[in-house]
Structure 1
């Protein structure tokens, strides 16, 4: 085989050179003159291109732009300033390089921006990602719908800057935001009047709106779950509808009396299978507001009939116990022959009784009745007999007896409102009796009844006790001593009953 001759570089174009990977191709160099290489402008341009390629975020400073084109550079101060600016620029470029080297490709990066010597001026407003503390979607003066007269940012040399903190713009925005208040808080047409509210006024109105909303919720809750004067709640209304649908009542006519604890309605009676319903009935609806019962637990918590149940009930069920207590007291009085309303039926906190009056007109109270001297004297002896019967036969003390709780009807005195009545063995039973006697004695003495006894004499006549005292203070001391004896006796009797029950055990039916 003959040897291959070495190629001659000067022998024209050789296409095989591009196909051989082991052959080095000399790079083409653009010719440049010596004057171009020595040019400062070319060197400065090449340096700027190199720095911009390496650090795209770096900002170069043009000293001629900062100092002024055509300025006199013979001054040492001016030259020092130019050198200092150049040094600061190089220092900032070095910080950029250190920052990029330190961060690398990490997702979490640090910045040396605060250590830069020359900070670029950025003419920008607040960030678009900033979220205001209010919802401005429906704000006619918000960032989405600026006012036609509003000016933002720099609008020219010597002009003002308008931002979101501008007084007029902020005031209009606050007026528009009042539409987000509660519906029951009336704010008027503030946008139509171009009303401007300051931040202080808007914040006060906002807090007031919240307080009014909470207050309105409490009021509505109270109206829906409690009875008030001449008004009933939804549960009470449902109970009344059931009575009418069941035929116990034919119709309910309206309110005839209101008190601290209850509301009295007049109704036409219907019919029941096991009991005769009067033609005219009185509905006593106990209020469920609890305000009038919070200080009256002393009448029921020490009553042995309800003592065991009192501590296990919530406040609203205690009100039902008041209605139940009045029903039992009225039944006792009716069995003893005392003039009082007749119980028809009890539904939770609604007590249906016979109506004391005629033709929808209630009987007058003894306080308001116009009686002659003979009728007043007759009424006094009737009250005296009823108090004795109530104490001896019914074993009850009215505990709130006065001319306001006695009615005058058909020439007789009728006792009403006995929900607070207690037995004489109650820890304060004798004290309640003395208070009743004092009220009755003072009323009839002022009414001109000469035979009316004093409160101490009336107390002894009703109770059968013979307490002797020269004044009211000593009389009350004797009463408290008797109540202490009765309380100890009742406590001992209760222990004996409990011991007997534990020894014998419960009896099987």
Structure 2
């Protein structure tokens, strides 16, 4: 009513009466004028109109999306809203705990460069959290500062107060750095408890401070204790029983037992410089096996390397730095050699299985009793002669057919079983390509000759004769028996060696064995009488006097071994191949072309000659 009194004026100075004020038409007129006047002030600008239009369009699109979505039931909507509020409250609580924890760590650690990570992770993104006004943030910041001052006053009452990093000179008389005794002692305590394996209790919570000398002593003590522990542990692993039974070897035997390869392992059958042999029972049946376990530590066989480094089959596989890997390759070498000897009919153990340094072979013996070594057997002279012939034939088969040389053949590596000899311990056997192959063969021949001589058999070959028999390529299956009979008769008629023969035998044992013809200076130089200096003519394939290619075995009269074919071959004269120069070759080719040309011309003339018509007397004219 007062508003109407103030604004209800027609001319501005004229005041309306009460009756006029109560008039309804006048009231509508006054109301319409007021609305027109207010419209002038409230009409929006063009920018506001554009904004309102955009707002309407966005609300319309949002309404369409809401219509397309499936409505959420009221119960679920209430539950989600409650869960959301609970999650927000929990997140605020976790953030508050993290802030307090980090603040305490900053107060305790000072300027430590150690980065602290916690298990707190935000449950929501920052956009999902409710926003706060700047006034609220300022109030919280003031509360945090007040809390920090209260916490600092409480921490100052402790005995050890670690400074919070580098302190400025304005607040304190001197600058406190990480080298301060309190900071350094706390840092040493944390390292000792977390990084060094010493059981010293919870010193960090007890505020124990360790000086640098004490910390260094404890650190050195921990390092020495760890070294002793490792050394003691390694010694236990390498500890062996009976020179071969270490932890890894026992594990291999357990695996063989579990796989039913063997079901029982007995005692030691024999012990040598490189391995121990045990008796075992096969997993199926009553067959007996010989389990050979190679020594990996404290080995007496020091010169194995010369037997394997030049063997092309294993020279790139053995590792000299690791004894266990070296023994593994050594066991594989013996397995391969045994398989090759068995292939060519040489009596030897049969390979059953191989795992690292454990080799399982067939058992040579009767029942559970192993066959004795040749040195432990007492035999008659006739039996010794039989075994000697068998052994030298085995040596020739190994060299000529199996292409192997035993390298350690003696009475220790020969077993006597069922009236015959068996070859064992062939791990050191080498092939023909080995540089010391012939040297090992000569040593084997010497060992065999010495043993049978000590056993009482004197009608045997000398070392040189046995070496020639094994290496002579002219001995065949047809003439081998004749060769042996002839040579053994010569040995039976020979009571002892003459001084000249003994001297030649000694020189042969110490002479150099050539591997190729290039190693002989001049084998055909007979003018100065140097042919007697060559003690290994059989390796060259030449006659004993180096006069030509040999067609019969050496040291035997060719008449004893001659056959019609060999007699015709012996009548042929060995002629040295002449060297033809290039000029002579060109002259010969030129002469051959000339002869061919003349022959062709004569052939053309013969083809052009034919018979003409006959005359009155019946003679034919030749054109």
TM-score by length of structure 2 reads 0.41
Higher RCO (C-alpha under 8 Å, 6+ residues apart) = 1
Which structure carries more helix by proportion? 2
TM-score by length of structure 1 reads 0.49
Greater Cα radius of gyration, structure 1 or 2: 2
